Chain A
């Protein structure tokens, strides 16, 4: 079946940025259904901008983004979400004065099927810590719990691809481990993941493949294990 061979996400020669200023230059990237791909690079390299371009939040000057074989470049963000590509933004961006349950339900605002409530129960199995906090205001949760709500909200849209931007930000080491285990489990259950993460070692530990972004360009790509052993990557991002 030809369908199975073609990538879920195909980014070709994308130049994107803000105003008239490009931040990304000729970026090419592929991601297959079910894959976990890490996107690494220094601050300012353009990682979040790339996620923004994929989500329709950042203007694409030229190049093409195909998702599930369909051209989604310049599609409105809500239509991109409806197509199955969902962004979990850096810094969680929850609605702090709304309850956890309402935050989760907002992830499904485009859906009109009857399975939304069931999905919430199913998704909560990934996050047992949230089980008794559904009626709490999201802003009163700990950083780790808020990150879980943000990922849960993303899952409520039934994504084929979940793009997660720096889930470890500001979290205690033990909580980072927990969040990463959850990301891995979500991926093993069939959702493709594009992960942006400052903890390069950790990202490459759970990813299948990785891309290295430098000054807005893809500088390197490969199997995660190979990148983790690459001397240039180790020197630039791990300081060893």
Chain B
């Protein structure tokens, strides 16, 4: 049984067709990477799944139950957590208190007591690598740490599916490496993940599956390595420079080098 099934979902904003019939499924344990040009509909798709935006047509099913039209808080309590591209923590609260919000209000099994929520916060902050900064005010956090906090807030809801919207944008190569470790740790806890990224290192590094959106439709879908070598994807999204670098890297690295 698929964890989530998106069937023929469409969404129009005025004259712009943001999603034009997208269909895919997510199996438990998968890490699905969604890539595609700016404006292809990636965030709109996450918004439709998390209930922030209501699709005009099509259906979204969570363990075979339709969640189309359900309000976001109910979808969250079913076990679908998400992060936002523009992070908006509560500025007057500490890192720990911000994280506890997810545990207080987003849990499927009803609200936790504040003490239990803070304990849960501590646990997920350790998981995302923010444990030592739990008592900081969020204003002191750097960009990578704010992104980690965004993930922690979602994790405190104990989601079974986590939707990550560009949590690695603005990170340099080394910071991306650290964020990848965090994603792997989350996945090892049994959380299924859908992530939107423009950083190909992420798609290759953690995704079991990749989906390319273009003009609100699926352009190509499959294993990341195949998808990123597809001429249609290079044409619409990656560009020649990426392809050239890829060829150079392949040339430099003999296939058997790492055994």
Bound-state Cα–Cα, A2 to B134, Å: 55
Q: Are B175 and A171 in contact (CB under 8 A)?
A: no
Is A128 an interface residue, CB under 8 A from the partner? no
A174 within 8 Å of B by Cβ?
Answer: yes
Inter-subunit contact A169/B172 (CB<8 Å): no
Tell me which residues across on chain B come within 8 A of A173, comparing CB atoms. Answer: 198, 200, 237-239, 241-242
B143 at the interface (CB under 8 A from A): yes
Contact of A142 among B39, B142, B239, B240 (CB under 8 A): B39
Binary contact readout A186-230 vs B (1 if CB under 8 angstroms, 0 otherwise): 000000000000111000000000000000000000000000000
Docked-complex contact A170 and B166, CB < 8 angstroms: yes
Q: Which residues of A contact B143 (CB under 8 A)?
A: 43-44
- The yes or no answer to A166 lying at the interface (CB within 8 A) is yes
Which of A43, A172, A199 sits near B38, CB closer than 8 Å?
A: A172
CA distance A123 to B211 in the complex (A): 37
0/1 string, A141-178, CB within 8 A of B gives 1: 01110000000000000000000001001111111111
Distance in Å: Cβ of B258 to nearest Cβ of chain A: 14
- By a CB distance below 8 angstroms, the chain A residues around B198 are 170-173, 176
With A43-B144, A170-B198, A175-B38 known as contacts, the answer to whether A239 contacts B238 (CB < 8 A) is: no
Interface residue tally on A, bucketed by range: 20 to 34
Residues of B within 8 A of A166 (CB): 170
Of the candidates A43, A172, A175, A178, the one whose C-beta lies within 8 Å of that of B171 is A43
**Would you call B36 and A172 a contact (CB within 8 A)?**
yes
Can you list, as one digit per residue, whether each of B170-186 has a CB less than 8 Å from chain A (1) or not (0)?
11111111000000000
Asked if B37 is an interface residue, CB under 8 A from chain A, the answer is: yes
Nearest Cβ on chain B to A76's Cβ, whole angstroms: 25
B175→A169 contact, CB < 8 A: no
List the A side residues contacting B237 at CB < 8 Å. Answer: 172-174
Is there an interface contact between B36 and A237, defined as CB atoms closer than 8 Å?
no
B174 and A239 contacting across the interface, CB-CB below 8 Å = yes
B37 x A42 contact (CB < 8 A): no
Interface residues of B in 9-41 (CB under 8 A from A): 35-39
Does A238 lie within 8 Å of B39, measured CB to CB? no
Contacts known (A43-B143, A44-B142, A174-B237); A198 close to B38, Cβ less than 8 A: no
**Which A40-71 residues sit within 8 Å CB-CB of chain B?**
42-44
**Is the pair A236, B174 in contact by a Cβ cutoff of 8 Å?**
yes
CB distance from B83 to the nearest CB of A (A): 14
A180–B166 CA distance with the chains assembled, in angstroms:
21
Partner of A144, one of B36, B38, B144, B236: B38
Q: Is the CB of A171 within 8 A of B172?
A: no
Determine the chain B residues whose CB is within 8 A of the CB of A198 once the complex forms: 170-172
A237 and B172: CB pair below 8 A? yes
State whether A43 touches B175 (Cβ < 8 A).
yes
Per-position 1/0 for B238-250, Cβ under 8 A of A? 1111100000000
B175:A42 contact, CB within 8 angstroms: yes
User: Given A172-B38, A237-B174, is A177 in contact with B239 using a C-beta cutoff of 8 Å?
Assistant: yes
Bound together, the chains give a CA A198 to CA B238 distance in angstroms of 18
Partner of B37, one of A44, A174, A239: A174
CB neighbours of B238 from chain A (8 A) = 173-174
Residue of B nearest to A198 (CB): B172
Task: Determine whether B85 belongs to the interface, using a CB cutoff of 8 Å to chain A.
Answer: yes
Closest to B242 in A: A173
B200:A42 contact, CB within 8 angstroms: no
A239 touches B173 (CB 8 A): yes
Residues of B within 8 A of A144 (CB): 38
Residue B170 contacts which of A169, A172, A177, A178 (CB distance < 8 angstroms)?
Answer: A169
Q: Is B127 an interface residue (CB 8 A)?
A: no
Q: How far is the CB of A169 from chain B (nearest CB, A)?
A: 5
Q: In whole angstroms, how far apart are the Cα atoms of A177 and B242 in the complex?
A: 9
Interface string of B214-237 (1 = CB under 8 A from A): 000000000000000000000011
A180 to chain B: closest residue by CB: B241
Asked if B169 lies at the interface with its beta carbon under 8 angstroms from chain A, I say: yes
Q: Which of B35, B38, B173, B242 contacts A237 (CB 8 A)?
A: B173
Chain B's nearest CB lies how many Å from the CB of A234? 10
Residue contacts A-B, CB under 8 angstroms, 11 given = A42-B174, A43-B175, A144-B38, A170-B198, A172-B36, A174-B238, A174-B239, A175-B38, A198-B172, A199-B172, A236-B174
Which residues of A are at the interface with B, using a C-beta cutoff of 8 A? Answer: 42-44, 142-144, 166, 169-178, 198-200, 236-239
Nearest 3 interchain pairs by C-beta: A174-B239, A44-B142, A143-B38
